[in-house]
Amino acid sequence: MARPVVGIIGNSHLINDEYPTHAGGTMNSRAVAQVSGCLPLIVPADPGLVTVEELLETCDGFLLTGGRPNVHPEEYGEPATAAHGDFDRGRDAITLPLVRACVERGQPFLGVCRGFQEVNVALGGTLHPEIRDLPGRDNHRMPPDGTLEEKFALRHVVTLAEGGPFHRLFGAAQVLTNTLHGQGIKTAGARIVIDGHAPDGTPEAIYVEGAPGFTLSVQWHPEWNAANDPVSRPLFCAFGDAVRAYAAGRRGFRRSA
């Protein structure tokens, strides 16, 4: 039987600062294929090339990836400043309505870093442009130097709500994660439940209350070492199970129709 398809949201990227591409990190594809057990499909997040409706019919679930560009602050009613960094308006135009449609349909998605922020904005939330500038907050950005192993090293604890979905999934009320982000949740969107926090209070784990499908999203990068990390592996396994269940239900509906 064919594996269910996970659309991996790609990012606009210039090779050698001149050749435009739609790119996705290899670690995303490996996590989806080797841990979730699904077929990874990189999505060119450009409304001139794909529609949300086509993606919903083609894919069984979605990995909302991290990326250097941030959600444009116009999407949550604030003016753009230099602190907001770079933007990808094509990705905004695809992912924000895609999140809302998935919530409505019960179609699974896993949000990671920028994807975590997209989920919050899609449901009406807002973002801080730069976490490290806030009083009492830590610098959550990627370390500027070192190997990939050093940049993705585990750097802080995330404390999870007792009895919440992340606590149940990980079997622990605290987990150790990496951290590679500049922005973060300012106000939670409608139905967004903040289920985990960093030691400085930064939201790190969310889900959509009452959603019929898988909506777990995290501010860290679980795709790094997903097959071996004791936090990343159960997250991607649970996501894969949800995608398979959705795909099986959809196949059953089509046969009966």
Q: Residues 148, 151, 153, 158: what is their CA dihedral angle, to the nearest 10 degrees?
A: -140
Give buried/exposed letters for 152-163 (b at 16+ CB in 10 A, else e): beebbebbbeee
Tell me the C-alpha to C-alpha distance, in Å, between residue 175 and each of 102, 169, 196, 225, 230: 28, 11, 10, 15, 9
Tracing tokens 């001139």 back to the chain, one arrives at: 48
Tell me the C-alpha to C-alpha distance, in Å, between residue 219 and each of 160, 184, 198: 13, 8, 10
CB neighbour list of residue 257: distance below 8 Å, 6 or more residues apart: none
List active site positions.
113, 221, 223
The two tokens of residue 21 are 């591409």
